[in-house]
Amino acid sequence: MNFLRQEVKGEEMVHLARTGFASSSQRKELHDDHVKQSESTASALVSLQTPGKRIHNCIFCDKSHPSEKCFSARKMTLAAKQKLMLKKGACFSCLKKAGHLSRLCNAKNQFNCAHCNNHFDIMCDKNNASKYVPKPENSLSNCSKGETIFLQTLCVLIRYQGQQKLIRVVLDSGSQSSYVSEKIITRFKASPLRTETVIHALFGGKETKPTYHEVFPVEVSNLNRTFSCSFEVFSEKMICGFIPRIENKEILNELKRKKINFTDSFRNETEINLLIVLGKLTGNTVELESGLTAVETKLGWTVFGKGSYKKDNIITTLSMHSMNVPIHKLWQLEVLGISSPTETKKEKGRS
């Protein structure tokens, strides 16, 4: 025990000789070295937990964030960014000091540029904000509706063996036969009288190939049931395309003032299901102010001609928005009013 006691006293004397006679500044340096050796920090802890992982600083501002997300670089022009990267020997594509040219970069096809897919969007020439200057655009919209040709249409009641349906009819003075749509034949479950072969002569002297048509007997009457007639019709899959009906209030009011009961103006039927050879006229004809002509038949009034009531409207519109701005620009921090903490501190320092 005496031996150990003597050894401890000897060590204390050596320590006192080393520290007791040194200057205050030297004692402080020795104390700081001791603290540095024993101090544990969060950064040291992180580096111990991620061994072998190298953190690349931003090529533009040398801060610890990815170069493609640098807020300061987005405010620089493309030429300024390229000049800075050339000075540091960095690749224009991967934004790293990799010692290769951008055209030889193996990672250039893995970037998210919406225009070229070869750069980060921060380095793409097409994303240069100086090229997207909103300009007012003058556009001339011509809302001309033109004139409409109204054909001779009306609504009638068609009957077949006790069955009845209201249909829309077109009168044709140039046809030699009457036709009914297969839709009506199917609804009535009608049986044909016979089958005939017909060749249709068209405009321009053209003729169709021989076509087989079934012949059916029908009865047609006006809506008041004061007149009816029976005749034979050929079946046809579709009579014709869309034929417009008169819906202009000025024309309808004029017909009403002149006590003309025009049946094809207030019905829900739009499809033409019957074509009738024009006949059974009463001789009553009325010229309308719009240029149309109203003719009375025993099946009802029909109005036809060229409508001149429509007017051409020329509208000039001024578009104050620009559509050539990339979509990703709409959610940039500057647009949303969010400033970078670094930039905010700089502004406060300047003020």
Give residue-wise pLDDT tens across range 170-202. 998 888 899 999 999 999 999 999 999 988 888
d(CA 102, CA 90): 9
pLDDT digits (tens, 9 = 90+) for 123-151: 776 544 444 444 555 444 444 455 678 89
Terminal-residue alpha carbon distance, the chain: 73
Nearest to 176 by CA among 280, 301, 73, 279: 279
Residue 26 confidence (pLDDT) above 70? no
pLDDT digits (tens, 9 = 90+) for 2-18: 777 777 777 777 776 66
d(CA 159, CA 272): 16
Residue 331 confidence (pLDDT) above 60? yes
pLDDT digits (tens, 9 = 90+) for 203-223: 788 888 999 999 999 999 999
Domains along the chain?
67-128 (no CATH), 147-323 (2.40.70.10)
What mean pLDDT, rounded, does the chain reach? 75
Mean pLDDT of 53-68: 75
SS3 252: helix
Contact at 8 Å (CB) between 262 and 152? Answer: no
Predicted pLDDT of residue 35: 44
The size of the chain, in residues, is 351
The residue type at 137:
E
Residue 273 confidence (pLDDT) above 80? yes
Mean pLDDT of 285-305: 91
Helix residue ranges per DSSP H, the chain: 2-19, 24-38, 42-49, 78-88, 182-188, 249-257, 333-336, 341-350
Spell out the residues 6+ positions from residue 29 whose beta carbon is closer than 8 angstroms to its own.
none
- Which of the given ranges, 26-30, 105-109, 194-198, has the highest pLDDT on average? 194-198
Q: What is the reported pTM?
A: 0.47
d(CA 55, CA 259): 92
SS3 164: strand
- The sheet carrying 293-297 orders its strands as 148-150, 300-307, 293-297, 281-287
Mean pLDDT of 61-69: 81
pLDDT digits (tens, 9 = 90+) for 228-267: 999 999 999 999 988 888 888 899 999 999 999 998 876 6
DSSP 101: -
